[in-house]
Chains A and B, each alone.
Chain A
Amino acid sequence: MSLRPTRNTITAMRHHVLLLAFILAGCPKPAPPPVTPAPTELVCGVEEADHDEAVDHVVTALQDQTLLDPWVTKYTRPVIVCVVQEIVSDTNSAPVLVGRAQAWLTAGGNQ
C-alpha cells in the first residue's frame, strides 16, 4: 500500500487550509444598516446653526444700523422677521437693540 497522499486527501487538506484562513481572516461582516439621521430641530423655519447665524447677522446689523433687508443676506424675510421678533421678546437683549428692532418692525420690515 502506498503512503503517498491520494488526490482526494490533498483536496481535503486544501479545503482545511482554506477554511482555517477564512476563520483567521474573520467572517465577512454584513453591511451595517443605513444610519437614519436624527430629525433636526428647526428654529424660525431653519436649522439651529443657520438660525444662530441669522441672529448674529441681525444683532450686528442692528448695532451697526446697517440694512436688515433680506437681499443683503442669505436669509429670507420670514426668517429675519422671526429673529427680530425673538430679539424684541428677549428680556436680556440690550434696550437700544430692542428699540431698533421694534422700529424696524413698525416701519414695515415685516411686510
Chain B
Amino acid sequence: MTDFTGMKLGRKALRVDKRTLQLGDYLTPALKPPARVDWESKLSGLGVMMNDRLGCCTIAAKGHLIQAWTANHGQQVIVPDSAILAGYEQACGYVPGDDSTDQGGNMLDVLNWFRKTGLAGHKPFAFVAVNHNDKKHVELAVDLFGGCDIGIELPISAQRQEVWSVPHGGAVGDGERGSWGGHDVPIVGYSSVGPVCITWGRLLTMTWSFFKTYVDEAYAVLAPDWADGKVQAPNGFDLTQLQADLAAVTG
C-alpha cells in the first residue's frame, strides 16, 4: 500500500510577482495540445533527490526537469544529490546540520535562482507563468516546453493514494487543500486520465480534478536542454521567437 507519510515537501506559499511573463501572451489560438503527451517513458533511474530527508522539493523538481529534458533530447542527465544539496543551500538558505534552516523554498525565488545561477551546470533561458486554471495552457506547456513545474497545496488524503484524486466528499477534512503542505513537482506527461508528475523518485499520476482543486501555481521553463534556438524541440515547435521575446524582457 502506498504510504508517502515519511516524505518531505518544502514548497512555501505562493508569491506573485506581476513582472512574471505569462505563457498565454505567447500562445496563438491555432495551437492545440495533443490528446496525450509522454515525456516520461524515456526516463530511467529516477531518484528521490534528497526530498525524503530534506524539504528540497523546489530544487528536486528542477533536477527532474533537467532529467526529462535531456532524456528526450540527447543523453539523459541525472543530477547528483550533491548538486541538489548545493542548490538547496544557495537558493533556500539551507545550512547542512542545522535543521532549523530546512524551511523549503518559494517557487518563484527558486526559479529566479535557477535562471540566474543554474543547477549542476544547467541554466534555463527563462521561465513563464502558466495559467493553471486553463487546462489547455497546462497541456501546451508540457508539450512545448518538455514539462511544467507546478505548485500543489497537498491534502493529507494524498499520502496514501496511488493516483492522486479528490476524495469522495470533496476538499474537506483530510482532503482539505494544504492540510499536508505545499509541494513542487514537474509534470512530464498527461493523458485523458490526468497529468503525470515526478515526485520522490517515481512517476505519479493525478486526475485533472485533483489538479484543478489543489494546484495553485504553474510555470513553463525554457531551457537549452530542450531547445537551444538552433535545434527544434522534439515536437517540432520552433521556440526561437518566444526565446527572443523572453530574452528582451528578462535581459
A13→B141 CA distance, assembly (Å): 64
Q: How many residues of A contact B (CB 8 A)?
A: 23
Interface centre among B2, B161, B162, B203 (most CB of A within 10 A): B162
- With A51-B192, A92-B191: A59-B163 Cβ-Cβ less than 8 Å: yes
> How near does chain A come to B212, taking the closest CB pair, in angstroms?
7
- B250 near A: Cβ within 8 Å? no
B interface, CB within 8 angstroms of A: 2, 40-41, 135, 161-163, 165-168, 189, 191-194, 196, 203, 205, 207-210, 212
- For this complex, 11 residue pairs linking A to B, each with C-beta atoms less than 8 Å apart, are A43-B192, A52-B194, A53-B209, A55-B194, A60-B165, A64-B167, A91-B41, A93-B163, A93-B193, A94-B205, A96-B162
Say what secondary structure dominates the interface of chain B.
Answer: loop
Asked whether, in the complex, the Cβ of A92 is within 8 Å of the Cβ of B192, the reply is: no
A interface, CB within 8 angstroms of B: 43, 48, 51-53, 55-57, 59-61, 63-64, 66, 86-87, 90-94, 96-97
User: Which of A86, A90, A97 meets B162, CB within 8 Å?
Assistant: A97
Which residues of the other chain, A, contact B205 by a CB distance below 8 angstroms? 90, 92-94
- With A52-B207, A56-B209, A60-B168: A92-B162 Cβ-Cβ less than 8 Å: no
